[in-house]
């Protein structure tokens, strides 16, 4: 929220945000302005958690009664849906906005909603006959590529070579675990690449400084957990690398979509490894049902997560056009010719086919010789509970407001 408010203020728009990180003085000033006869504020960012409090809702209804509330915008609206990859229970409570503030237009925005998520968002927000505007999910300026860790001697070296060959470009590297962020960033720095790690295990001061340095181009590569990037608008990201397989196509699309927002040629690179796959399957089949058992049929959600993940595995292990697979997962039927050879499978079909054959052989050999060893290593090397909440990015209301919340994720902006 903070970054967006800064950007709006630079454009001369009277914007503010309310968050637990602010001083009471700053908050009081905003409240005084809202209570005044003629508020100077035009745009206010708040969290879904704040909307859910009776005190703030009563404030909104008063502003509404005075005819000053013109629009409510809900950003990252897929978070409303239990079928969205970033589902947050507090977003569910936004359904009260429609009843409490009738006649105020509600605008729901998302870049990653599959058809069933779209329908769920409409129903959950009680939108009545909404006008639905959609554009294609295709990002023609992003080249998609998968590299196979099991066929590489050293994935760290492979990535650092790629970054060096590409030049001093802006990049985000996503890892599943904080330790990988630290290790990989240290490796990149050692090889002369300007890089820093970013995750919830670092203190606020370090994170702010990394973020500032990256936004101002002092650092070119940030190696981060999934919490990084939401709401951050740097348009010249040339490479988004997933060093571990993401949990769903929606998550992959959203994260890889942070590349090339200036429409210039950019790259999405995913390192796929069998150990990563097993680790993710373990997390999805065990941890999620624990986390979400109070919300819905745990079996249903767990199965849903695994089905979503299988789509991601097929993206990596299948031989067809990667772009077509992404678009089909969002309900778009397109010919493979749409890709124009801007994925590795279309540009180098023979090479990708060779890699996939080698991968099958490598897996068969490993399964025969060390099945138990793989299982033990993937389950005992499990990430801890704290890291897991960062991975899910869907903490409950209490933790969402804590200092550990680094997702920069807050997305409700009532215009007044
Ligand atoms: Zn293709």
The residues facing 170 across adjacent strands are: 237
pTM above 0.95, yes or no: no
Specify the 3-state DSSP secondary structure of 241: strand
Domain count across the chain? 2
- Ligand 1 center to residue 145 CA distance, Å? 9
**For residue 140, what pLDDT band results from cuts at 50, 70 and 90?**
very high
- Ligand 1 center to residue 338 CA distance, Å? 8
- C-alpha–C-alpha distance, residues 312 and 140, integer Å: 20
Question: Backbone phi, then psi, for 113, in 5-degree steps?
Answer: -105, 115
- C-alpha–C-alpha distance, residues 162 and 231, integer Å: 27
- Ligand 1 center to residue 336 CA distance, Å? 6
Q: DSSP of 363-375, one letter per residue?
A: HHHHHHHHHHHHH
- Ligand 1 center to residue 73 CA distance, Å? 35
| Residue 134 belongs to some domain of the structure | no
**Residue 253 shares a structural domain with residue 363:** yes
- Please report the pLDDT score of residue 223 as a whole number: 97
| Residue 130 belongs to some domain of the structure | no
Last residue of a domain, one of 124, 155, 175: 124
**Residue 271 shares a structural domain with residue 242:** yes
- C-alpha–C-alpha distance, residues 360 and 352, integer Å: 12
Crossing angle (nearest 10°) for helices 298-317 and 249-256: 60
Last residue of a domain, one of 64, 96, 124: 124
Residues with CB under 5 Å of ion ligand 1 are 321, 323, 339, 343, 346
- Ligand 1 center to residue 341 CA distance, Å? 5
**Residue 227 shares a structural domain with residue 335:** yes
Query: CATH code at 43?
Result: 3.40.50.300
- Ligand 1 center to residue 32 CA distance, Å? 55
- Ligand 1 center to residue 232 CA distance, Å? 28
- Ligand 1 center to residue 269 CA distance, Å? 14
**Residue 93 shares a structural domain with residue 232:** no
**Residue 20 shares a structural domain with residue 150:** no
**Residue 75 shares a structural domain with residue 221:** no
Cβ atoms of residues 87 and 47 within 8 Å: no
- Ligand 1 center to residue 328 CA distance, Å? 12
- C-alpha–C-alpha distance, residues 388 and 404, integer Å: 13
| Residue 129 belongs to some domain of the structure | no
| Mean pLDDT, residues 189-197 | 96
**Residue 318 shares a structural domain with residue 389:** yes
**CA within 13 Å, CB half, 76:** 25
Q: Using one digit for the tens of pLDDT, what is the confidence trace for 247-278?
A: 999 899 989 999 999 999 999 999 999 999 99
More confident residue, 298 or 229: 229
| Residue 131 belongs to some domain of the structure | no
- C-alpha–C-alpha distance, residues 82 and 86, integer Å: 8
Q: Is the pLDDT of residue 112 over 90?
A: no
**Residue 119 shares a structural domain with residue 180:** no
Q: Using one digit for the tens of pLDDT, what is the confidence trace for 266-309?
A: 999 999 999 999 999 988 887 656 655 555 544 455 567 888 89
| Residue 132 belongs to some domain of the structure | no
For all residues of the chain together, what is the average pLDDT?
84
| Residue 63 belongs to some domain of the structure | yes
| Residue 81 belongs to some domain of the structure | yes
**Residue 256 shares a structural domain with residue 405:** yes
Q: Is the pLDDT of residue 327 over 70?
A: yes
∠118-94-70 over CA atoms, to 5°?
A: 95
- Ligand 1 center to residue 144 CA distance, Å? 8
Q: Which two tokens stand for residue 329?
A: 């997962």
Last residue of a domain, one of 94, 124, 154: 124
**Residue 107 shares a structural domain with residue 180:** no
| Mean pLDDT, residues 93-109 | 91
- Ligand 1 center to residue 18 CA distance, Å? 44
- Ligand 1 center to residue 33 CA distance, Å? 53
- Ligand 1 center to residue 149 CA distance, Å? 21
Q: Is the pLDDT of residue 97 over 60?
A: yes
**Residue 45 shares a structural domain with residue 184:** no
**Residue 57 shares a structural domain with residue 183:** no
Question: Backbone phi, then psi, for 240, in 5-degree steps?
Answer: -115, 120
- Ligand 1 center to residue 174 CA distance, Å? 23
| Residue 161 belongs to some domain of the structure | yes
∠8-219-156 over CA atoms, to 5°?
A: 130
- Ligand 1 center to residue 347 CA distance, Å? 7
- Ligand 1 center to residue 229 CA distance, Å? 26
Q: Domain residues for 39?
A: 2-124
- Ligand 1 center to residue 249 CA distance, Å? 16
- Ligand 1 center to residue 265 CA distance, Å? 15
Q: Using one digit for the tens of pLDDT, what is the confidence trace for 376-410?
A: 444 444 444 455 555 554 333 333 333 333 333 33
Q: Using one digit for the tens of pLDDT, what is the confidence trace for 206-215?
A: 998 999 899 8
CB neighbours (10 Å) of residue 273? Answer: 20
Q: Is the pLDDT of residue 172 over 70?
A: yes
């Amino acid at each position: 929220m903070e970054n967006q408010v800064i950007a709006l203020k630079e454009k001369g728009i009277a914007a503010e945000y309310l968050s637990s990180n602010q001083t009471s003085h700053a908050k009081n000033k905003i409240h005084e302005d809202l209570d005044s006869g003629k508020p100077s504020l035009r745009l206010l960012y708040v969290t879904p958690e704040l909307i859910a409090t009776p005190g703030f809702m009563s404030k909104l209804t008063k502003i509404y009664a005075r005819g000053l509330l013109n629009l409510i915008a809900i950003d990252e609206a897929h978070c409303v849906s239990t079928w969205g990859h970033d589902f947050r229970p507090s977003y569910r409570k936004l359904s009260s906005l429609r009843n409490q503030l009738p006649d105020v237009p509600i605008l729901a925005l998302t870049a990653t909603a599959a058809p069933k998520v779209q329908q769920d968002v409409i129903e959950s927000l009680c939108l009545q006959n909404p006008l639905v505007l959609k554009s294609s999910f295709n990002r023609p300026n992003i080249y998609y590529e998968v590299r196979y860790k099991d066929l590489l001697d050293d994935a760290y070296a492979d990535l650092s070579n790629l970054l060096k060959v590409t030049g001093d470009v802006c990049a985000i590297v996503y890892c599943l675990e904080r330790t990988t962020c630290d290790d990989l960033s240290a490796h990149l720095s050692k090889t002369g690449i300007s890089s820093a790690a970013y995750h919830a295990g670092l203190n606020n001061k370090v994170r702010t400084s990394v973020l500032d340095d990256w936004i101002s181009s002092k650092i070119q590569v940030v190696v981060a957990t999934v919490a990084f990037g939401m709401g951050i608008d740097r348009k010249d990201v040339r490479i988004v690398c997933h060093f571990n397989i993401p949990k769903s196509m929606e998550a992959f699309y959203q994260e890889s979509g942070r590349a090339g927002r200036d429409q210039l040629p950019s790259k999405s690179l995913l390192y796929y490894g069998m150990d990563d796959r097993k680790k993710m399957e373990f997390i999805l089949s065990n941890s999620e049902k624990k986390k979400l058992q109070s919300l819905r049929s745990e079996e249903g959600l767990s199965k849903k997560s695994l089905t979503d993940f299988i789509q991601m595995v097929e993206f990596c292990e299948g031989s067809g056009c990667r772009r077509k697979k992404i678009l089909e997962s969002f309900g778009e039927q397109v010919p493979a010719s749409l890709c124009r050879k801007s994925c590795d499978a279309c540009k180098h079909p023979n090479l990708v086919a060779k890699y996939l054959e080698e991968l099958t052989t490598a897996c068969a050999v490993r399964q025969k010789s060390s099945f138990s060893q793989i299982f033990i290593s993937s389950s005992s090397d499990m990430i801890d509970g704290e890291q897991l909440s960062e991975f899910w990015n869907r903490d409950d209301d209490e933790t969402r407001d804590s200092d550990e919340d680094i997702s920069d994720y807050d997305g409700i902006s009532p215009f007044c």
